[in-house]
A = this chain, B = another copy of it.
Amino acid sequence: MSLKSEIFEQPAVLARLLENQKERIRAIAVALRDYDIRYLFLVARGTSDNAGLYAKYLWGAFNRLPTALATPSLFSLYGKPPSLKNALVLGISQSGQSPDIVQVMAEAQRQGVPTLAIVNAPQSPLAQMAQFVIDVEAGPELAVAATKSYTAQLMVIAMLSAAMSEMAGDTEDRWADLERVPALVQQALDLDPVIARAAERYRYMEQCVVLGRGYNYATAFEWSLKMKELAYIIAAPYSSADFQHGPVAVVSQGFPVLAVVPNGAVFADMFALLKDLVTKQGVELLAISNRDEVLSLAHTAFRLPSSMSEWLSPLATIVPGQLFSYYLTRAKGYDTEAPRGLHKVTLTH
């Protein structure tokens, strides 16, 4: 039962980060002001890459930083790394071990640009290579599918965004919002019995799409990855906009659409699409939200607290997705702890 217990550890992990890392993160935000940073260059794989998508939207919106996702093969296999001048290079990794990720960090160091690692293993090669390191302190993660290390990465990303805003003179107090996150995540975990029952209906689902936009684009990708890793379902993640530029063609009567649609700036756009998909095309909608309109439209609805701030919602919206993936995996009779073909640490070049 280690996967389930790791999912339930999340409020404690997040509370610990708020307690232990705030001053260190503020100090890093101060130190970063010495550099002329124009954009973020992000290197990560798998779940950590999905956490990076959150940074891309959050730091874009609040800290005005555009994000380039790295192309590790240019550094490793091609030996033709791009110039990183004026970049902040951010490596995110649970284990800090994959050689291609470490190689990008090494090149950043050679080029003399500032580097930051967000890891769950502060002694790892990735951390040792970076100028600044933040330990997500998630504790040992034994299940192959990452859960608590993901939300811990999101929390560090959110805290760093708040600290950078603060250092830039923004007077909005984002820390008060951050302090509410562990309780929000606990409320999402309280859906556990509802989700356990709901998963049964999807026992024979083999494929689906997962939609999310803006801050929750990351959630669509991470939920989709859990569905693939654990339940072996081909789950294809999209923003509601990208989905309409082609992939929507796959949809027919009864096709399952999983959607992450909390209240916020992208809600109206997402809701208009989902309403069309349900009423005109007859899709099966499973929604994670805190808005009545979409919850009542859905065949299966996971309701989150209405008080949630959109910018922090990804920390809570992924939780029903994790639990749903867990219970669906059990319903299908698969191994929740050690999915086929995977190891906890993946080494790619």
Q: Are B249 and A346 in contact (CB under 8 A)?
A: no
Question: A194: which B residues are within 8 A, CB to CB?
Answer: none
Q: Are A228 and B245 in contact (CB under 8 A)?
A: no
Q: Are A56 and B85 in contact (CB under 8 A)?
A: no
**In the bound complex, what is the Cα–Cα distance between A300 and B233 (angstroms)?**
25
**In the bound complex, what is the Cα–Cα distance between A229 and B250 (angstroms)?**
7
In the complex, which residues 197-219 of chain A have their Cβ closer than 8 Å to any Cβ of chain B?
206-207, 209, 213-214
Chain A 47-58, CB within 8 Å of chain B: the 1/0 string? 101000000110
Q: Are B249 and A339 in contact (CB under 8 A)?
A: yes
In the complex, A333 has a CB within 8 A of chain B: no
Question: A62: which B residues are within 8 A, CB to CB?
Answer: 80
A246 interface neighbour in B83, B250, B342, Cβ under 8 Å: B342
Question: A207: which B residues are within 8 A, CB to CB?
Answer: 206-207, 234
**In the bound complex, what is the Cα–Cα distance between A61 and B100 (angstroms)?**
16
**A80-B62, A349-B269 are known contacts. Are A341 and B249 too (CB-CB below 8 A)?**
yes
Q: Are B348 and A245 in contact (CB under 8 A)?
A: yes
Q: Are B45 and A242 in contact (CB under 8 A)?
A: yes
**In the bound complex, what is the Cα–Cα distance between A74 and B72 (angstroms)?**
26
**A65-B83, A68-B67, A242-B49 are known contacts. Are A249 and B228 too (CB-CB below 8 A)?**
yes
Q: Are B236 and A234 in contact (CB under 8 A)?
A: yes
In the complex, which residues 332-348 of chain A have their Cβ closer than 8 Å to any Cβ of chain B?
339-342, 346, 348
A214 interface neighbour in B39, B64, B77, B209, Cβ under 8 Å: B77
Query: A72-B241, A228-B246, A230-B249 given. 18 additional CB < 8 A pairs?
Result: A39-B68, A39-B86, A57-B74, A60-B74, A66-B82, A66-B87, A73-B239, A77-B213, A77-B265, A77-B266, A145-B246, A225-B247, A228-B249, A229-B249, A240-B348, A241-B348, A248-B341, A249-B340
Pairs A–B under 8 Å by Cβ, sample size 7: A47-B245, A65-B83, A73-B213, A77-B213, A206-B206, A245-B348, A246-B342
